[in-house]
Chain A
Amino acid sequence: MKTNNVMLTTITKVVTFIILVFSVYLFFAGHNNPGGGFIGGLMTAAALLLMYIGFDMKTVKKAIPFNFIHMIAVGLLISIGTGVVTMLYNDVPYLTQFDRYVDVPLLGTFHLTTALPFDLGIYLVVVGIALQIILTIAEDDA
Chain B
Amino acid sequence: MSLIEIIISILVLLGGLLSLLGAIGIIRFPDVYGRLHAATKSATLGVILIMLATFLYFLIIEQQFVVKVLLTIVFVFLTAPVAGLMMSRSAYRIGVPLWEKSVQDDLKHKVSIEKNRKLNVTDKQ
Q: Which residues of A contact B (CB under 8 A)?
A: 1, 7-8, 11, 14-15, 18, 22
Can you list 17 A-B contacts (CB < 8 A)? A1-B114, A1-B117, A1-B118, A7-B86, A8-B82, A11-B78, A11-B79, A11-B82, A14-B78, A15-B75, A15-B78, A15-B79, A18-B71, A18-B74, A18-B75, A18-B78, A22-B71
Is B85 in the interface zone, CB < 8 Å from A? yes
Which residues from A are CB-within-8-Å of B85?
Answer: 7
What CA separation (Å) do A1 and B121 show in the bound complex? 10
List 10 tightest A-B contacts by C-beta distance, closest first: A11-B82, A1-B118, A1-B114, A7-B82, A7-B85, A18-B75, A15-B79, A15-B78, A11-B78, A8-B86
Whose C-beta in chain B lies nearest to the C-beta of A25?
Answer: B68
Interface of A is mostly: helix
Which residues from A are CB-within-8-Å of B117?
Answer: 1
What CA separation (Å) do A18 and B75 show in the bound complex? 8
What CA separation (Å) do A97 and B79 show in the bound complex? 41
Which residues from A are CB-within-8-Å of B79?
Answer: 11, 15
Minimum distance in angstroms from B52 CB to a CB of chain A: 18
Within 8 A of A (CB), among B5-58: none
Which residues from B are CB-within-8-Å of A15?
Answer: 75, 78-79
Which residues from B are CB-within-8-Å of A11?
Answer: 78-79, 82
Which residues from A are CB-within-8-Å of B82?
Answer: 7-8, 11
Minimum distance in angstroms from A10 CB to a CB of chain B: 9
Beyond the given A7-B85, A18-B71, A18-B75, please list 7 additional residue pairs across the A-B interface where CB-CB is below 8 A: A1-B114, A1-B118, A8-B86, A11-B82, A14-B78, A15-B75, A22-B71
What CA separation (Å) do A14 and B82 show in the bound complex? 12
What CA separation (Å) do A22 and B69 show in the bound complex? 12
What CA separation (Å) do A114 and B84 show in the bound complex? 45
Which residues from A are CB-within-8-Å of B71?
Answer: 18, 22
What CA separation (Å) do A18 and B118 show in the bound complex? 37
What CA separation (Å) do A11 and B117 show in the bound complex? 29
Whose C-beta in chain B lies nearest to the C-beta of A14?
Answer: B78
Proximity string of chain B (72-115) to chain A, C-beta cutoff 8 Å, 1 when within and 0 when not: 00110011001001100000000000000000000000000010
Which residues from B are CB-within-8-Å of A18?
Answer: 71, 74-75, 78
What CA separation (Å) do A68 and B63 show in the bound complex? 43
Which residues from B are CB-within-8-Å of A7?
Answer: 82, 85-86
